[in-house]
Amino acid sequence: MTEAPAQILVIDDDKAIRDACFQILSRQGFRVELASSARQGLSLLERMSFDAILLDLVMPDMDGLETLKKIKAQDPDAEVIIITGYGTIQSAVESIKAGAFHFLSKPFVPDDLRTLINRALEKRRMDLENLYLRQELKSKDERNVLVYDSEPMTRIMDMVTRVAPTDSTVLITGESGTGKGLVASKIHQLSQRSRRPFITVDCGTLVETLFESELFGHVKGSFTGADANKVGKFELAQNGTLFFDEISNIGLEVQAKLLRAVEERKISKVGSHRVITVDVRIIAATNKDLTKAIKDGEFREDLFYRLNVVLIQMPPLRERKSDIPLLVQHFLEKYNARLRRDIRGISPDAMDLLVRHDWPGNVRELENTVERLVVLSPGPYLEPADLVFAGTILSPGGESPSGVSLKDLERDHIIQTLQRYDGHKSETARALGIDRKTLREKLKRYNIE
């Protein structure tokens, strides 16, 4: 994967300087735009986004310091390098105080220009990465991993390893809780973009009126409450991967704008006509039938075909039951560490109950169940009675493998816990995760002395 070339704007009334900058920078692979006046440069800035700007400090139509302030008002994140003659060094220093990145003295040699531009671009990249990392700190502090051994998941992972090194757009479908987000993350980890950001857009939780702002960003004053410029998800994901989780929740109006972004890799912030070129890989996921959504007029057909380049269909947990023991062990280790418990394992009967269950909520439901068991079970091993007591729906028949009723399992579990705490009801209730009144009711119901 080759990153999109940086875009540089040169604003200088001296044609020789403009031509020299163009020759030096274009040979480095940068895209270079030239402006012969401050006003022409500001006009270009209204229509396009630049990674770095070279600005002459002395121009006939507008003072360089005034131009810098206008640039910063339009794009606070712009990295501006001041071009200055010997007699204006003090003014260049004032420009740095006003937000310029650095200054370049005339006459300059090509290496000095290249060095400063690369430093400015590195600062811009680091600023975006720091913003991304600050957002990451708000999310979970641990990464989930894919745990599998079944044939269906082995086929899925084979497809993942094939598609990951490419830049192809991927659409992941499947029921809720099947691990679509984990597969998207894995594709990014195995891709050539792995050192760049992986940005998730949770389409199911974003308010529709703010969706466009979240995706593309906005400029200050573009709507009520927009009291500062905002960097959108597309910019945050620059040179990385942008993952749209539950993309079917996006409204038709935003779908049209998203289509343009996917097709042209160009966006504009809300409240601005400036075009920003983005280089991101798109991965989308949904638990809905998009072909039905298209027929119902809820999803654009042209956007669907843009997203559905490589299709990965996640199997539900009921079709990969051989993975359940591995998943249970994985979640036991995870929640033992997180909750500081010491549940050492699970009995064969209890595991059989978990394997027999259909898990309509898929892996997410299984994980929540194991977490609940770690919290509520006295341990050291999970037994069928623990599953009953934790409120786990076990099987359609409501019986354990040995044919014992769920009521009997709960009764046995209460008796075992009472015995463990020598009949102390307060400690027993605490271990069972219930209050003394509930325990008394259960003792009476099961005729336990």
Q: Give the model's pLDDT for residue 357.
A: 85
Inside any domain, residue 175 = yes
User: Which pTM was predicted?
Assistant: 0.68
**Residues 324 and 298 reside in one and the same domain:** no
What are the helix (H) ranges across 89-150? 89-97, 110-137
CB atoms within 10 A of CB 125: 16
Q: Is residue 91 in some structural domain?
A: yes
In this structure, the number of other CB atoms found within 10 A of the CB of residue 133 comes to: 10
Give the pLDDT score at 132. Answer: 64
Residue 360 CA to its chain's centroid (Å): 25
Query: Are 179 and 289 members of one domain?
Result: yes
Q: How many domains does the chain have?
A: 3
- Domain co-membership, 332 together with 384: yes
- Residue 54, beta-bridge partner list: 10, 81
The three-class DSSP label of residue 240 is: coil
Which of 109, 124, 139 lies at the terminal end of a domain, its last residue? 124
> Are residues 115 and 156 located together in one domain of the fold?
no
Q: Are residues 161 and 216 in the same domain?
A: yes
Q: Is residue 144 part of a domain?
A: no
Q: How far is C-alpha 361 from the geometric centre of its chain's CA atoms? A: 22
Whether residues 59 and 119 share a domain: the answer is: yes
Question: Where residue 43 sits, what CATH number does that domain have?
Answer: 3.40.50.2300
* pLDDT given for residue 315 in this prediction: 95
In a domain, 282, yes or no: yes
Cis peptide before 107, with omega less than 30 degrees from 0? Answer: yes
- Asked whether 88 and 55 are in contact (CB, 8 A), the reply is no
441 SS3 class: helix
What is the C-alpha to C-alpha distance for residues 306 and 290, in angstroms, rounded to an integer?
Answer: 13
CA angle, residues 273, 277, 282, in degrees to nearest 5: 115
Letter string b/e over residues 345-368, b meaning 16 or more CB atoms within 10 A of that residue's CB: ebeebbbbbbeebebebbbebbbe
Spatial distance between the Cα atoms of 195 and 3, rounded to a whole number of angstroms = 12
Domain boundary at 266, 281, 315, which?
Answer: 315
Q: Output the CA–CA distances (angstroms, integers) from residue 364 to 35, 140, 327, in the order listed.
A: 56, 15, 11
Which pLDDT value is given to residue 207? Answer: 75
The per-residue pLDDT string of the chain (449 residues; one tens digit each, 9 = 90 and over) reads: 556 788 899 999 889 999 999 999 999 889 999 999 999 998 888 888 888 999 988 888 888 888 888 888 888 778 999 888 765 667 777 788 888 888 888 888 899 999 999 998 888 887 777 766 655 554 444 455 788 889 999 999 999 999 999 999 999 999 988 999 999 999 999 999 988 889 999 887 777 778 888 899 888 877 777 777 888 899 989 999 999 999 998 989 889 989 999 998 888 888 888 888 889 999 999 999 999 999 999 999 999 999 999 999 999 999 999 999 999 999 999 999 888 888 989 988 889 889 988 888 899 889 988 998 888 887 788 888 787 765 555 543 444 444 555 566 667 777 877 877 778 888 777 766 566 777 887 888 888 87
Q: What is the per-residue pLDDT for 402?
A: 46
| Cα gap 209→229, rounded to integer Å | 17
Query: How confident is the model over 135-180, as pLDDT tens digits?
Result: 555 444 445 578 888 999 999 999 999 999 999 999 999 998 899 9
Residues 6+ apart with CB under 8 A from 47: 273, 274, 275
* Same domain flag for 106 and 161: no
Q: How far apart are the first and last CA of the chain?
A: 71
The CATH number of the domain where 334 resides is what? 1.10.8.60
- Say what the pLDDT of residue 134 is: 59
103 within 8 A of 84, measured Cβ to Cβ: yes
Residues 105 and 183 in one domain: no
DSSP state of 10: E
Whether residues 158 and 244 share a domain: the answer is: yes
Residue 431: the pLDDT is 66
Q: Which long-range contacts (CB under 8 A, 24 or more apart) does 134-143 make?
A: 135/236, 143/185
My answer on whether 71 and 192 are in the same domain is no
| Within a domain: 145 | no
Does residue 413 lie within any of the structural domains?
yes
258 Cβ contact partners less than 8 Å away, ≥ 6 residues apart:
215, 250, 303
Q: Are residues 360 and 335 in the same domain?
A: yes
Task: Tell whether 250 is covered by a domain.
Answer: yes
| CATH number assigned to the domain comprising residue 184 | 3.40.50.300
Angle, alpha carbons 201-204-210 (nearest 5°): 70
Judge whether 101 lies within some domain: yes
- The answer to whether 172 and 184 are in contact (CB under 8 A) is yes
Contact 269, 276 (CB under 8 A): yes
Residue that terminates a domain, selected from 271, 293, 315: 315
Range of the domain at 268: 151-315
Q: Are residues 77 and 115 in the same domain?
A: yes
Dist. CA 407–CA 400, nearest whole Å:
11
